[in-house]
Amino acid sequence: MKIISSIEELRDHLRGQLRTAFVATMGNLHEGHLSLMRLARTHGDPVVASIFVNRLQFGPNEDFDKYPRTFQADVEKLEKEGVYVLFAPTEKDMYPEPQEYRVQPPNDLGNILEGEFRPGFFTGVSTVVMKLFSCVQPRVAVFGKKDYQQLMIVRNMARQFALPTEIVGAETYRAEDGLALSSRNGYLSVEERAEAPLLYQVLNDVANEVRGGQHKVAQVEQLAMERLAGRGWKPDYVAVRKRIDLQPPSAADMEQGAPLVVLSAAKLGATRLIDNLEI
Ligand code: PAF
């Protein structure tokens, strides 16, 4: 595997590749990321991965500085997966001058749910993903459904800018007890790690109630939030939304069986976990 940090060298190295499948990451790779690499392989060749902890998508009080950086271990994992090129730019490579042009998602998608609690997050994500796409020029890019809103925003961005990149969503990779794998799980204490699968259980219970015919979603959401809070979590949201646009379903949507997803974010101790489940 070739490790490249400069955009120019990356372009030289990938020149003429028409079927590149790309996976963007911030490193600290776990099985969830590796499952994205394996899915990428079924969609194109060569597989290119990136590792870049993108300052633009972190708020001033978020964990940019302490975000886990495990470069050497990541390289070994990617080599085992047969990744062809790892693009690992420094901040200077990626942002040689202040990044003043930004890609801003529409308010009704970028400023709800995660966007409400992490202002500017999706502008930071969209901007770096657009720039990574410009560097790698992939035919396909794989993103995990664990970051459901991010996947939708990237997919809409690719469509609206007519990018020549197909966006593929990958199923969430879970530990045996249901906890969605995430680099931030590493922040959890032993006790918190034992408690963490509750988030997925709550999502399953919400999904089952809705599937069972409960149309009063606000009530179900409220009870789910209270259940988490009762166990010491600080939930930001538990929200049943339409899969098509992540807006709340109307009574008519519920009647007509619109495809839904339940999304959640909650703090357990100092660690903020997110998860979701298609209903
Ligand atoms: O999901 C992530 O790890 C990041 O948001 C991404 C897509 C690599 C952009 O920095």
Q: DSSP secondary structure string, 206-249?
A: HHHHHHTT---HHHHHHHHHHHHHHTT-EEEEEEEEETTT-PPP
Q: Which two tokens stand for residue 156?
A: 């809409």
Residue-wise pLDDT tens digits, 172-200: 999 999 999 999 999 999 999 999 999 99
Pocket test for ligand 1, best of 33, 36, 67, 129 (most atoms within 8 A of CB): 129
Closest CA to 4 of 50, 45, 53, 38: 50
pLDDT of residue 137: 98
Residue 43: active-site member: no
Q: 239 alpha carbon to ligand 1 midpoint, in Å?
A: 22
Average pLDDT along the chain: 97
Asked whether 36 lines ligand 1 (CB < 6 A), one says no
Architecture of domain 183-276: 2-Layer Sandwich (3.30)
Residue-wise pLDDT tens digits, 125-149: 999 999 999 999 999 999 999 999 9
**How are strands ordered across the β-sheet holding 271-278?**
234-242, 260-268, 271-278
Say if residue 32 carries a ligand binding annotation: yes
Residue-wise pLDDT tens digits, 77-125: 999 999 999 999 999 999 999 999 999 999 999 999 999 999 999 999 9
Contact of 278 with 203, CB cutoff 8 Å:
no
For the chain, the structural domain boundaries read 1-168, 183-276
pLDDT of residue 10: 98
266: helix, strand or coil: strand
Architecture of domain 1-168: 3-Layer(aba) Sandwich (3.40)
Residue-wise pLDDT tens digits, 55-78: 999 999 999 999 999 999 999 999
pLDDT of residue 259: 98
Asked whether 236 lines ligand 1 (CB < 6 A), one says no
pTM flag (> 0.85): yes
Say if residue 35 carries a ligand binding annotation: no
User: Which band of pLDDT confidence, cut at 50, 70 and 90, is reported for residue 18?
Assistant: very high
